[in-house]
């Protein structure tokens, strides 16, 4: 072989290898944000109130912070959160769905664009102002819906995105928000069932994970599903892809026997009202299981060491049901007090900036 030829070939091959490795798809690490807080409602169990409570929590944020931009990301494949913005009897959700699709304000469009590590985007190009469809909605409230509710073939629910795709999309979203001066509050809704793409995106994107739970007799058996959620989130944390923490757990839709405070566990947890004996028993069992989980996932569950990060929300009455039908006309009625306590804790989380224990 000609020596001169070898001298040319090896440098060229080396250069091509460097270019290949540079452009090779890589994990993008978590990007911290000071002026944006992202809350994800998650639980593999369906029917625990993720969408409903995410909506009313956002309403409280919007009421408290009219100067902030508030964004709903609807990761429920049936579009539950989108529908709640307009009431079940309204065609507003259909209108916003159609307009959001036309404006490409969907999770799928964002993902298709951001799966490429090198593509940049302006987040505001992918969100839709709700007041353009519903004039009663606050002007600082935006939505990113999904195409799944109207097109069942958009995403394979389990295998379309791998963790590398998830990390790159979430890092690009956070990077896009970090370059702006606007203050944001973002709430992400997820589905029950398996860990499909929307749910994994919501978990990786989150600063804070909020977990609604049922508390009917035997519901403690459903709580064990949370271990899958914790394992996945901890894996993302270990890989440097998220800093998400479980910041609030509440037992939802409880019948109240009376308004007197009650003891919920041997560890000092107390409820703002007294539920039935079966519910109290289930709550106590779940809280005791959390004490074990806190030891298994000390960084992920660090906020849960504080007993006021467990809460209860009572079953909604007539006013609450009316608020679901006419979402922008009134507050959550008999549930409003507990919702305000939930937001108080979340705001406290932000202001205190929890410092998790350092790894040894």
Contacts of residue 254, Cβ cutoff 8 Å, sequence gap at least 6: 215, 273, 275, 276, 279, 312, 313, 314, 315
What the chain holds in terms of domains, given with CATH numbers, is: 30-352 (3.40.50.300)
Residue 20 predicted with pLDDT over 70: no
State residue 92's pLDDT score: 58
Q: Which residue has the tokens 């007799």?
A: 217
Q: What does each C-alpha distance from 131 to 99, 188, 249 come to in angstroms?
A: 12, 19, 31
State residue 34's pLDDT score: 82
Question: What are the pLDDT digits (tens) for 240-266?
Answer: 889 999 999 999 988 887 788 888 888
pTM beyond 0.95, yes or no? no
Query: How many angstroms separate the CA atoms of 203 and 41, rounded?
Result: 9
Query: How many angstroms separate the CA atoms of 165 and 159, rounded?
Result: 11
Q: Higher pLDDT residue, 193 or 30?
A: 30
What average pLDDT is seen over the chain? 81
Residue 18 predicted with pLDDT over 70: no
State residue 93's pLDDT score: 61
Question: What are the pLDDT digits (tens) for 198-225?
Answer: 899 999 999 999 999 988 766 677 777 8
Angle at 88 between CA 193 and CA 109, to 5 degrees: 55
Residue 285 predicted with pLDDT over 70: yes
State residue 355's pLDDT score: 44
Give the residue-averaged pLDDT of 95-99: 70
Residue among 299, 312, 289, 290 nearest 356 (CA): 299
Determine the distance from the C-alpha atom of residue 164 to the mean position of all C-alpha atoms in its chain, rounded to a whole number: 19
Q: Which of left, alpha, beta for 151 (phi over 0: left; psi -120 to 50: alpha)?
A: beta
**DSSP codes, 46-75:** TTSSHHHHHHHHHHHHHHH-TTSEEEEEE-
Query: How many angstroms separate the CA atoms of 193 and 152, rounded?
Result: 17
Contacts of residue 321, Cβ cutoff 8 Å, sequence gap at least 6: none
Query: How many angstroms separate the CA atoms of 288 and 299, rounded?
Result: 18
């Amino acid at each position: 072989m000609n020596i001169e030829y070898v001298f040319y070939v090896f440098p060229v091959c080396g250069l091509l290898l460097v270019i290949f490795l540079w452009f090779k798809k890589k994990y993008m690490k978590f990007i911290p944000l000071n002026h944006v807080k992202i809350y994800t409602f998650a639980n593999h169990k369906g029917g625990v109130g993720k969408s409903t409570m995410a909506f009313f929590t956002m309403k409280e944020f919007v009421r408290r912070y009219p100067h902030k931009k508030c964004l709903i990301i609807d990761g429920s494949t049936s579009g539950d959160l989108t529908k709640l913005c307009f009431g079940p009897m309204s065609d507003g959700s259909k209108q916003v769905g159609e307009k959001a699709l036309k404006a490409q304000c969907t999770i799928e469009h964002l993902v298709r664009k951001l799966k490429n590590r090198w593509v940049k985007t302006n987040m505001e190009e992918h969100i839709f102002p709700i007041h353009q469809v519903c004039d009663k909605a606050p002007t600082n409230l935006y939505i990113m819906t999904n195409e799944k509710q109207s097109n069942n073939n958009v995403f394979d629910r389990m295998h379309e995105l791998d963790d590398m795709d998830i990390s790159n999309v979430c890092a690009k979203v956070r990077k896009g928000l970090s370059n702006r001066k606007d203050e944001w509050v973002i709430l992400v809704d997820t589905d029950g069932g398996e860990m499909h793409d929307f749910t994994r995106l919501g978990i990786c994107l989150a600063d804070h994970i909020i977990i609604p739970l049922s508390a009917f007799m035997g519901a403690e058996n459903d709580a064990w599903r949370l271990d899958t959620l914790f394992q996945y989130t901890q894996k993302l944390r270990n890989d440097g892809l998220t800093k998400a923490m479980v910041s609030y757990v509440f037992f939802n839709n409880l019948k109240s026997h009376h308004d007197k405070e009650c003891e919920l566990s041997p560890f000092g947890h107390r409820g703002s009202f007294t539920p039935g004996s079966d519910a109290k028993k289930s709550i106590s069992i779940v809280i005791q299981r959390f004490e074990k989980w806190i030891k298994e996932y000390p960084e992920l569950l660090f906020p849960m060491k504080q007993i006021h990060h467990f809460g209860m929300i009572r079953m909604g009455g007539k006013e609450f049901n009316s608020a679901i039908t006419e979402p922008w006309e009134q507050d959550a009625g008999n549930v409003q007090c507990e919702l305000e306590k939930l937001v108080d804790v979340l705001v406290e989380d932000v202001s205190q900036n929890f410092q998790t224990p350092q790894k040894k």
